[in-house]
Amino acid sequence: MSYEKLNKQLIELVGGKDNIKAVAHCVTRLRLTLKDRDLAKTEEIKNLDGVIDVVSNEVAYQIIVGTHVTDVYNEFMAMLGLKPDGEEIEKPRAKGIKGIASSILVMISETMTSIIEVLLAAGMIAGIMAIISLTGLVSKDSSTYMIFDTLRGGVFHFLPVFIAASAAKRMKLNEYVAMALAVGLLSTNIDGAKGLELFGYNLPTIGYANTFIPILLGVWFLSIVTKYLKKIIPSGLQYFLVPALSLVLTFPVILVVFGPIGTLIGDGVNAFFNVLMNTIGNWIVVMLYAAFQPFLIVLGAANFTYPIVLNFLGTLGYDPIINHAATISDIAVCGAMFGYFLRAKKGHQRQMFGTVSFSALMGITEPAVFGVFVKYRRPFLAVIIGGGLGGLIAGLAGVKTMGFVWGLAALPTYLAGGTSNFIWMVISVIVGFVGAAAVAYGVGIPKEESEEELEEKELVEALESNQGLKQVCIGKIAEGTAIPLSEVSDKAFASGALGKGVGILPVQAEETIISPVEGTVTVAFPTKHAYGIKTKNGVELLIHIGVDTVNLEGKYFEGFVEQGQEVKKGDILAKYQADKVEEAGFDPVIIVVVTNSNDYLDVISASNGQADELLTVIL
């Protein structure tokens, strides 16, 4: 057994055989479901020979060992006394109060994420109407203004309907059954109605428009009711009885239990922030959020502010804290990257900093945060100072966000709160940008990186002058835009631990993956999402389609090659529906790495952003 020592150590360090609930693997990692993750000694596992890294998330406890994972897995299963075939990894269930709270936060975050576009649209409509009314083209008292304002207001009034559909989709329920609950709550007979009784019980007067907590809890309860009804009702009658009975059983629970709970939570959030605003002032919260939002993005916690914002909009009609702080922080991130852009002397560095700077300007800061901030660390200081100053000004001036909007494009919407509101927001954004840019330029780029770039430049110059260096070019794999490997969302790949390479952002609904080299297929994963190719020169290439897409079990993928098959450059390896993969909640990025990068002098990625010539391997 080639990996007996490694597997013995792994079994011991994850808490023993009794702590292993299920095992599976993808193309580079063992994926374990552990009964108690606290028993796993993660840092010791990371230090084992043969282990590249450990990723512990809600999907699984993942031990990254490399592309020989199948051999490790087979021996691992044999040592556990289990058959390697037919094992499926289970999603870990929440344990204890902490686990339940985490599951609830994830559910809220993912539910909100699905409806962000329509909420943003409503906020932008408010900004457009504010600009038009200020110009005098349309009066606020006109029916034209009323029509478009109704479109905006309708989105928030019927928010429970959107929440119901989004939550039902996540919980694998019929969206229309869930929406029926929301429609019932928003009917004139229920929404804000007084004197209602249910079997003699006096119902409190609750307005369900603009709310999300009662319907979110209601859909969760609906999923439980539906599950148990399907267990006790014969399959031939389920189509007729389950929807009706689940609605009849769930609706009263919302009215009696979840409606009051939602009101209490909403009032509690408002009371908490009112205390802040009436004591130390909301300015400090705005300042701190604008300064530290990049850290929340790294932790994946930024989305958890959505419920707070929606609660503000539903109860106050505006957001006094979060979204303008987020905008100031985004622009400060843009400023920090612009400062690095001015400071950088290398062409490909300037291109990278310029690209992520523009992305942050549009309100998308993840490429900058994960691609630059985490790597260099110094830009965090720039945003803390620049974003903090901008947030301080906005907080002291009492800036308000009048809709669910953020980013540069959202600035006109602040006119809906008055000219003064708009002016102070613009000033805050400018201060955040300039402050972060100045600090980033001043602290500079770490010298270690500059030295690495110098070595790379020398290699390129040697190639251009034909000084005896041989190379293998990794050509086109798919239509799309090449991005630095550091920008992909999978941390194991992004860190370069699995080899140097690039990512490709797909641009077509259905992408075709072709072989970029001539060689032998060494890996053709059963779920059709990953392929390995070895060239005659010995270059080992891994093409991984999407992040965590092994969980799709082949859905949306079609494979055209088998392990051991010889392929030529341009042969079709696979096809996949990138849009469907993204709709299913997975990142559709194509990841390409040379897994034996350490065997070569260097692996240089293309710097032109195109996906035609991806990598050059220096032999």
- Whether residue 608 has pLDDT greater than 90: no
Sorted by sequence, the CB contacts under 8 Å of residue 277 that are 6+ apart come out as 320
Residue 25 has φ and ψ, to the nearest 5°, of -155, 155
Closest by alpha carbon to 204, among 268, 258, 255, 271? 255
> Is the domain of 575 the same as that of 541?
yes
Q: What are phi and psi of 530, to 5 degrees?
A: -145, 140
The dihedral of CA 401, 405, 407, 411: what is its sign? negative
Could you tell me if residue 101 is inside a domain? no
- Claim to verify: residue 491 and residue 412 sit in the same structural domain: no
- Structural domains counted in the chain: 4
Contact 167, 178 (CB under 8 A): yes
> What secondary structure letter does DSSP report for 610?
B
Confidence of residue 109 (pLDDT cuts 50, 70, 90): low
Which of 427, 448, 469 lies at the terminal end of a domain, its last residue?
A: 448
CA-to-CA distance for 355 and 333, rounded, in angstroms? Answer: 12
Question: Are both 535 and 551 inside the same structural domain?
Answer: yes
Q: Are 332 and 441 part of one and the same domain?
A: yes
- Has residue 437 got a pLDDT over 80? yes
Which has more pLDDT, 110 or 219? 219
Class of residue 157 by CB neighbours under 10 A (exposed 0-12, middle 13-18, buried 19+): middle
Is the predicted pLDDT of residue 560 greater than 90, yes or no?
A: yes
End-to-end CA distance of the chain, in Å? 32
Instruction: At 53, give phi and psi (nearest 5°).
Output: -170, 170
User: Considering only 49-63, 113-127, 129-143, 582-596, which range has the smallest mean pLDDT?
Assistant: 113-127
Residue 558 bridge partners (DSSP): 575
Where is average pLDDT lowest: 69-78, 465-474, 597-606?
465-474
* Chain Cα centroid distance, residue 499: 23
Give one word for 496, left, alpha or beta, with left for phi > 0 and alpha for psi -120 to 50: left
Which of 6, 23, 26, 374 does the annotation list as catalytic?
26
The C-alpha atoms of residue 159 and residue 186 are separated, in whole angstroms, by 10
Dist CA 150 CA 152 (whole Å): 5
Q: Are 187 and 209 in contact, with CB atoms under 8 Å apart?
A: no
Domain carrying residue 288: 283-448
Same domain? For 85 and 136 the reply is no
* 453 membership: H or E segment, kind and range: helix 447-464
Q: Is 466 left (phi over 0), alpha (psi -120 to 50) or beta?
A: left
Task: Judge whether 238 lies within some domain.
Answer: yes
pLDDT single digits (tens) 501-516:
899 999 888 999 999 9
CATH code of the domain in which 41 resides: 3.30.1360.60
Instruction: Please identify, among 213, 245, 272, the residue that sits at the C-terminal boundary of a domain.
Output: 272
What percent of the chain is modeled with pLDDT above 90?
25
Tokens of 211: 């709310």
CB-based contact 161:219 (threshold 8 Å): no
Is residue 556 scored above 90 in pLDDT?
yes
On whether both 163 and 87 belong to a single domain, the answer is: no
Residues in the chain: 619
Residue 384: inside a domain: yes
What stretches of 233-321 show up as alpha helix (H) in DSSP? 235-253, 259-278, 283-299, 306-315
Asked if the model's pLDDT at residue 89 lies above 50, the reply is no
Same domain assignment for residues 51 and 113: no
How many C-beta atoms surround the C-beta of residue 280 within 10 A? 10
Last residue in a domain, options 397, 428, 448? 448
CATH number for the domain harbouring residue 606: 2.70.70.10
Q: Using CA atoms, how far apart are residues 344 and 332, in angstroms rounded to an integer?
A: 18
The pair phi, psi for residue 470, each rounded to 5°, is: -95, 150
Phi, psi of 504, deg, nearest 5: -130, 120
Same domain, 68 and 206: no
Q: What digits encode the pLDDT tens for the residues 443-455?
A: 888 754 444 444 4
Residue 200 burial by Cβ neighbours in a 10 Å radius (0-12, 13-18, 19+): exposed
Question: Would you give the distance in Å from CA 311 to the centre of its chain?
Answer: 22
Report pLDDT for 463.
46
Active site residue 473: no
Does any domain span residue 278? no
The rounded mean pLDDT for the chain is 81
Residue pair 408/361 in contact by the 8 Å Cβ criterion: yes
Residues 145 and 291 reside in one and the same domain: no
- Of the two residues 298 and 55, the one the predictor is more confident about is 55
- Separation CA 557–CA 551 (nearest Å): 12
Domain assignment present for 99: no
Question: Which comes out higher in pLDDT, residue 604 or 253?
Answer: 253
Taking CA atoms, 470 is separated from 349, 460, 599, 617, in Å, by 25, 12, 14, 8
Residue 151's identity, in one-letter code, is: L
State the average pLDDT over residues 530-548: 90
| φ and ψ at residue 580, rounded to 5 degrees | -70, -40
Please state the φ and ψ torsions of residue 572, each to the nearest 5 degrees. Answer: -75, 125
Please tell me the distance from the alpha carbon of residue 406 to that of residue 302, in angstroms, as a whole number. 13
Query: Look-up: residue for tokens 């051999």?
Result: 71
**98 found inside a domain:** no
